[in-house]
Amino acid sequence: METPRTKRTLFLLIVSLSTLHVLSLSSFTPVDNHLIDCGSTVDSIIDNRRFIPDSSPSNSPSTLAISLIDRNPSPNSPQIYHTARVFESPSQYEFKLRDSGTHMVRLHFERLKDSKFDFSHAQFHVLVNGYVVLSHFSGDTDYDMVDPIIKEYLIWVDCEKLVITFVPTKRSKFAFVNAIEVISAPKDLIADTAQYLIGDKVEDFNGVTKQALEIVYRINVGGPKVTPFNDTLWRTWVPDNVFLKSSNGSHHVYSSGQIKYQMGGASREVCPDNVYNTARVITSENASIPHVNLTWEFPVMLGYKYLVRMHFCDIASISIGLLYFNVYINGNLAYKDLDLSYVTSYMLASPFYADFVADGDCSRVLRVSVGPSSKSMAYAVDGILNGMEVMKMNNTMGSLDGELRAELVMKSWPKGNIGILVPLIAGVLMLVSISLVMRRRMVGLKDSVAWSKLPTDIPEVHLKHTDQQLPVKM
Ligand SMILES: *[C@@H]1O[C@H](CO)[C@@H](O)[C@H](O)[C@H]1NC(C)=O
Ligand SMILES: *[C@@H]1O[C@H](CO)[C@@H](O)[C@H](O)[C@H]1NC(C)=O
Ligand SMILES: *[C@@H]1O[C@H](CO)[C@@H](O)[C@H](O)[C@H]1NC(C)=O
Ligand SMILES: *[C@@H]1O[C@H](CO)[C@@H](O)[C@H](O)[C@H]1NC(C)=O
Ligand SMILES: *[C@@H]1O[C@H](CO)[C@@H](O)[C@H](O)[C@H]1NC(C)=O
C-alpha cells in the first residue's frame, strides 16, 4: 500500500510540474478514453479527469438536441451534472474506437432541478451497439435513492465504433443524458470462461466476454466506499453492509501491508489494493470450528443470468496452508475447499478472483455465502471475502432491460418523422496521456466523437464466436 501510494504522489508531482493539463492516477492508460460532458460548452475536470463538451460553441443549435443548464445547481454536485443534453427524437453519439474488445460504458443521469424542461416527461430507451441497455427509463431517482444515477456496462466491440442511441418512448416524452464515458478495458478484465451453476451442478460457461454486461453491484467487503478517484478503472465500490445478511461469528479485517499482485493473477486493474486490503473473515478462536456462514444477498431479476465475481486475498492468515473454505451460491456448493494458498502459488496477501454464472430465479435474490469446509482448521481463519461484483448478462433478446429488442425500439418511432440532426462535430480534446506512445497516437484524434444523422437501420453488432480464451486468473 505504502510504496505504490508514494510512487503515485511522486508521479503526480512530476506531471503537475509539466505543462500537461490532465493527470492520471492510474497506471493503466486506455487506448480509447472518451469522457463527454453532455450539453456543456466548457470542459469539466472531475477527479483529475477531463470531460469535454459534446458540441463546440460555434454550433448552430438544433432543436432536436437541446443543451440544458441547471440554473441553480446544488453546490456540492460535480460540474458534469449541471448540464444535460435533451433529445426529443432518436439521436445518437458515435465514438470512433482504436481498440477492439471490451469497453466500459458509463452513462450519468441526473434530472436537472431548475431548467426549462420538466423532467417528469423524461422517458426513453438507450441502445449501445444494438443492445438495449435501458428501456422505459426516466432517470428518476425515487426508487434508486441515489443521486445521480450512474449506469455502467461492459460491451464487447469488434468494429471501429461504439454507437449510443437515445430513443424517447413517444413524441410527448424526451431522452436526456448528463455525461458519457467510453473507455477501453484492460484485456484481462473479463475472462471468457466462468463456472455456471445449474442446481448443484457446475459447468463451464464460455463466451462471457461477448455478452453485454451491466454492473449491478460492486462491493468492498469489510471496507469503506472506494471512489473513482481511488480506483484503477474509475469504478465505485460500495461498502457491503446493506447486502450482508448473516455475519454471526465473523469480523472485518484490514491490512496495511502490500497486496502482492502476481503475473497471471488478478491484476491491480481487475481490483485495486483498496478493495483487497479489507475483508470479512470467519475465524476459529478455540479448538472448534465455527458452524456459521457469512452470507450476502442481492436483489436480482428473473430471466437474466448473472456473472458473480468474488475477490479473495488472504490478508488474515498467519501463514500459508491454513485457510480452506467453501463458497455457496443460492445455497449450492460453488467452490469446495477453496485453498487460497494453492491458487496464489503459496503467497499470502496475493489476490485471486473466481467467476460464477447463476440464473436469477423466482426468489429474485442472489445469495452468496462463504463458510468453513471439511478441511477448515481450528485456531485459523475459516472463511474470507474481500470484494464482489454482480453483473447482469443480456437476455436472448439482446437486452439488459426487458423483452424489447433493439429493432423494435427503433421501429417504435415512426419512420419518416425522424428529424435530421445537424451533425455537430465535437471539438475533441482527448485525455492527454503522459506516455510517449500515447502522444504519438494523439495525431488524428480530432473528431472522434460525432453527432450523426440517425441511420434508418440500427447498427448491428457482429458477434464472432471464437474459442480463444483470454488469460485468466491462476
Ligand atoms: C482515497 O483513499 C484514501 C485512503 O485510501 C482516502 O483517505 C481518500 O479520502 C480517498 N479519496 C477519495 C476522493 O475517495
Ligand atoms: C446470530 O446470533 C444471534 C445471537 O447471537 C442469533 O439470535 C441469531 O439467530 C444468529 N443468526 C444466525 C443466522 O445464525
Ligand atoms: C469456542 O468459542 C465459541 C464462541 O467463541 C463458543 O461458542 C464455543 O463454545 C467454544 N468452543 C469450545 C470447545 O470452547
Ligand atoms: C452454509 O450454507 C450452505 C448453503 O446454504 C449450507 O448447506 C450450510 O449448511 C451452511 N452452514 C451453516 C453452518 O449454516
Ligand atoms: C446476449 O446477446 C447475444 C446476441 O446479441 C446472444 O447471442 C447471447 O446469447 C445473449 N446472451 C444470453 C445470456 O442470452
- The answer to whether the CB of 352 falls within 8 A of the CB of 275 is no
Which ligand has an atom closest to residue 461 CA?
A: 5
- Which of 371, 393, 415 marks a domain boundary? 393
Give the type of residue at 280: R
CA dihedral 252, 234, 103, 389 (to 10 degrees): 10
Neighbour order of strands in the sheet with 332-339: 244-246, 294-299, 365-372, 324-329, 332-339
Indicate if the pLDDT at residue 423 is higher than 50. Answer: no
Residue of 25, 47, 230, 259 best suited for mutating to test ligand 1, as the one with most atoms within 8 Å of CB: 230
| The pLDDT of residue 143 | 58
Instruction: Judge whether 14 lies within some domain.
Output: no
Ligand 4 atom closest to residue 332's alpha carbon, by position in its atom list: 4
More confident residue, 232 or 9: 232
Which ligand has an atom closest to residue 373 CA?
A: 4
Maximum pairwise Cα distance, the chain: 77
Name, in order, each residue with C-beta under 8 angstroms of 173's C-beta and a sequence gap of 6 or more.
121, 122, 123, 124
Query: How far is the centre of ligand 3, averaged over its atoms, from the C-alpha of 383 (Å)?
Result: 17
Q: Do 138 and 109 belong together in one domain? A: yes
Q: Do 410 and 294 belong together in one domain? A: no
For 132, 151, 174, 453, the CA distances from 54, given in Å and listed in that order, are 22, 19, 18, 15
Instruction: Judge whether 410 lies within some domain.
Output: yes
Instruction: Identify each DSSP E strand in 289-386 by its residue range.
Output: 294-299, 305-313, 324-329, 332-339, 351-359, 365-372, 381-385
Cell numbers found for residue 87: 433529445
Rg (CA), the chain: 23
Q: Do 167 and 270 belong together in one domain? A: no
Which ligand has an atom closest to residue 293 CA?
A: 4
Instruction: Judge whether 308 lies within some domain.
Output: yes
Cell numbers found for residue 327: 463458497
Name the closest-CA residue to atom 4, ligand 4.
331
Residue of 296, 336, 365, 369 best suited for mutating to test ligand 4, as the one with most atoms within 8 Å of CB: 369
Query: How far is the centre of ligand 1, averaged over its atoms, from the C-alpha of 300 (Å)?
Result: 30
Report the domain count for the chain: 2
Q: Do 313 and 431 belong together in one domain? A: no
Of the candidates 32, 397, 69, 22, the residue with the CA atom closest to the CA atom of residue 180 = 32
Instruction: Judge whether 306 lies within some domain.
Output: yes
Can you tell me the distance from the alpha carbon of 355 to that of 191, in angstroms, rounded to the nearest whole number?
Answer: 8
Q: What is the mean pLDDT of the chain?
A: 83
Query: How far is the centre of ligand 2, averaged over its atoms, from the C-alpha of 289 (Å)?
Result: 16
- C-alpha 251: how far from chain center: 28
Q: Do 169 and 225 belong together in one domain? A: no
Cell numbers found for residue 179: 455525461
Instruction: Identify each DSSP E strand in 97-140 by its residue range.
Output: 101-109, 124-128, 131-137
Instruction: Judge whether 5 lies within some domain.
Output: no
pLDDT per position as a tens digit, 152-167? 999 999 999 999 999 9
Q: Do 238 and 365 belong together in one domain? A: yes
Ligand 1 is surrounded, with C-beta below 6 A, by: 227, 229-230, 274
Indicate if the pLDDT at residue 474 is higher than 80. Answer: no
Q: Do 229 and 360 belong together in one domain? A: yes
pLDDT per position as a tens digit, 196-237? 999 989 999 999 999 999 999 999 999 999 999 999 999 999
Instruction: Judge whether 330 lies within some domain.
Output: yes
Query: How far is the centre of ligand 5, averaged over its atoms, from the C-alpha of 191 (Å)?
Result: 17
Query: How far is the centre of ligand 2, averaged over its atoms, from the C-alpha of 375 (Å)?
Result: 24
Instruction: Judge whether 278 lies within some domain.
Output: yes
Name the closest-CA residue to atom 6, ligand 2.
248
User: What is the domain extent for residue 75?
Assistant: 28-182+405-452
Of the candidates 10, 379, 1, 8, the residue with the CA atom closest to the CA atom of residue 223 = 1
Ligand 2 atom closest to residue 246's alpha carbon, by position in its atom list: 13
Query: How far is the centre of ligand 4, averaged over its atoms, from the C-alpha of 293 (Å)?
Result: 6
pLDDT per position as a tens digit, 314-330? 999 999 999 999 999 99
Of the candidates 135, 119, 118, the residue with the CA atom closest to the CA atom of residue 127 = 135
Q: Do 412 and 373 belong together in one domain? A: no
Name the closest-CA residue to atom 10, ligand 2.
248
- Bridge partners (DSSP) listed for residue 206: 193
Q: Do 443 and 325 belong together in one domain? A: no
Name the closest-CA residue to atom 2, ligand 1.
230
Cell numbers found for residue 159: 468494429
Residue whose grid cell is 432536436:
64
| The pLDDT of residue 427 | 31
CATH number of the domain that residue 41 is part of: 2.60.120.430
- Which of 342, 358, 393 marks a domain boundary? 393
Q: Do 77 and 219 belong together in one domain? A: no
List, as one string, the DSSP characters of 67-96.
Answer: EEE-SS--TTS-GGGSEEEEESS-EEEEEE
Q: Considering the chain, what percentage of its residues have pLDDT values greater than 70?
A: 79
Work out the pLDDT band at 461, boundaries 50, 70, 90. Answer: very low
Global pTM reads 0.84
Instruction: Judge whether 400 lies within some domain.
Output: no
Q: Do 161 and 39 belong together in one domain? A: yes
Between CA 188 and CA 191, with CA 189 as vertex, the angle to 5 degrees is 75
Q: Do 226 and 364 belong together in one domain? A: yes
pLDDT per position as a tens digit, 11-57? 333 333 332 333 334 479 999 999 999 999 899 999 999 999 987 44
